[in-house]
């Protein structure tokens, strides 16, 4: 933490914008997880009604649930960061994000990409 000269309104507003970005990201994760899980259930019901076999990898529901949980965690972390950064601003200090938060965030995004790529590859091989 480094002392600053004084808290400016732009600093407080930037902290609020960052918090809102965390909230938007969390909602996106939750919504994306819901869509993934529901699509799997929809495809299963459609295949039963049409009496056809739709190939599935059984990953969608688990992945959708994991995405929703990730959204919850992102929202919680964003709230935590807002409160901690706001307290630091009131003490006229800055509080950079921990490098571990950046590493974990990048790892989560990479894991999501890998899971999607593997699932799409497996689905394409069944056709």
Percent of the chain residues past pLDDT 90, beyond the cut = 38
pTM (two decimals): 0.75
Residue 114: inside a domain, yes or no? Answer: no
Tell me, yes or no, whether 53 lies in a domain.
yes
Task: Identify the band that residue 80 occupies on the pLDDT scale cut at 50, 70 and 90.
Answer: very high
Rounded Cα distance, 12 and 26, in Å: 21
Distance CA 108, CA 5 (A): 36
Q: Is the pLDDT of residue 79 over 90?
A: yes
- Report which DSSP code applies to 5: S
User: How far is it, in rounded angstroms, from Cα 69 to Cα 79?
Assistant: 15
C-beta of residue 89 within 8 angstroms of C-beta of residue 12: yes
What was the pLDDT predicted at 4?
A: 52
In a domain, 118, yes or no: no
Of 15-19, 52-56, 74-78, least confident by mean pLDDT is 52-56
Please check whether residue 30 lies inside any domain of the structure: yes
From CA 85, how far away is CA 75, in angstroms rounded? Answer: 15
Residue 119 domain-assigned (yes or no): no
Is residue 68 a part of any domain in this protein?
yes
**Does pLDDT of 19 surpass 90?**
yes
Number of domains in the chain: 1
| Residue ranges making up the domain that contains 57 | 2-96
- Asked whether residue 110 is assigned to any structural domain, the reply reads no
Mean pLDDT, the chain, integer? 84
pLDDT one-digit tens code per residue, 27-69: 999 999 998 888 777 776 767 777 777 666 567 788 888 999 9
Query: 80 versus 8: which is more confidently predicted?
Result: 80
Query: 31 CB contacts (<8 Å, ≥6 apart)?
Result: 71
CA distance 21 to 95: 18
- Asked if residue 16 belongs to a domain, the reply is yes
Q: What is the C-alpha to C-alpha distance for residues 72 and 17, in angstroms, rounded to an integer? A: 19
- Taking the C-alpha atoms of residue 56 and residue 126, their distance in angstroms, rounded to an integer, is 9
Q: What is the pLDDT of residues 2-13, one digit of tens each?
A: 555 577 889 889
């Amino acid at each position: 933490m480094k002392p600053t000269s004084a808290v400016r309104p732009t600093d407080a507003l930037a902290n609020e914008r960052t918090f809102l970005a965390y909230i938007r990201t969390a909602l996106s994760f939750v919504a994306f997880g819901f869509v993934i899980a529901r699509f799997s259930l929809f495809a299963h019901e459609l295949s039963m009604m049409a009496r056809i076999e739709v190939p599935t990898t059984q990953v969608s529901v688990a992945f959708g649930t994991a995405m929703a949980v990730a959204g919850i965690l992102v929202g919680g972390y964003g709230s935590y960061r807002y409160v901690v950064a706001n307290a630091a601003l009131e003490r006229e200090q800055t509080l950079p994000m921990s490098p571990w938060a950046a590493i974990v965030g990048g790892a989560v995004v990479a894991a999501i990409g890998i899971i999607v790529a593997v699932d799409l590859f497996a689905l394409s091989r069944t056709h």
